[in-house]
Amino acid sequence: RKEVEQDPGPFNVPEGATVAFNCTYSNSASQSFFWYRQDCRKEPKLLMSVYSSGNEDGRFTAQLNRASQYISLLIRDSKLSDSATYLCVVNMGPGRRALTFGSGTRLQVQP
Amino acid sequence: DTGVSQDPRHKITKRGQNVTFRCDPISEHNRLYWYRQTLGQGPEFLTYFQNEAQLEKSRLLSDRFSAERPKGSFSTLEIQRTEQGDSAMYLCASSAHRGADTEAFFGQGTRLTVV
């Protein structure tokens, strides 16, 4: 089983749609959680951190469910520019300083 | 440009040759990471430095791979006796030492093709 699992997609949605991605992680001791965005042939960039109480940044909402060990990302009012791969990223806990990435979920927003 | 810098951006090499990549992190960042990414996959962790100390290595890192960060600034990743399976994007990232909840900034990567 992978340490961080995501549905690879692709998710094809029309502009203006709401889309949600989920991600599960294997280590219950994981300490911190992020969503990164990666455009085609570019490096990953931080989209947002994920906090226990849930957090929002404009059209993006991230939630964490520690009991079920999953993280979600909700994108409202999708824009063409949201088309990218969204990477679920976890710091796996004590002794593991590096971030562990999921394989990513590809989103294609269509006009 | 004050971001993470990697050199070269592209490298084509023949199987069996050695290659070396360089990463210059953001200047005030003391943490440096190497990742490898293949098509359709997320970045896979290879190794991690805090200052000049290599504190963590992935099981993926065979004895053909070696990384250094001699003065706690730039880092090099060397692959000896390259194999076709080594073809991938090699990404370097750096972060400041602010606990677990800290953003990692990535360079644009070095794309390696082994022919």
Per DSSP, the three-state class of B109 is coil
The answer on pLDDT for A28 being more than 80 is yes
pLDDT value for B76:
98
Share of chain A above pLDDT 70, in %: 97
| Encoded amino acid at B101, one letter | D
pLDDT digits (tens, 9 = 90+) for A4-17: 999 998 999 999 99
Residues of chain B with pLDDT under 50: none
Tokens describing residue B113? 């093709």
Interface test mutation site (partner A, options B45, B48, B60, B89, max chain A beta carbons within 10 A): B45
Average pLDDT across chain A, whole number: 93
The arrangement of strands across the sheet holding A4-6 comes to A4-6, A19-25, A70-75, A60-65, A55-57
pLDDT digits (tens, 9 = 90+) for B89-101: 999 999 987 665 6
pLDDT value for B105:
93
Chain B 38-77, residues with CB within 8 Å of chain A CB atoms: 40-45, 48, 50, 55-56
Chain A CB within 8 Å of residue B35 CB:
yes
**Residue B60: HSE in the Cβ half-sphere, 13 Å Cα cutoff:** 13
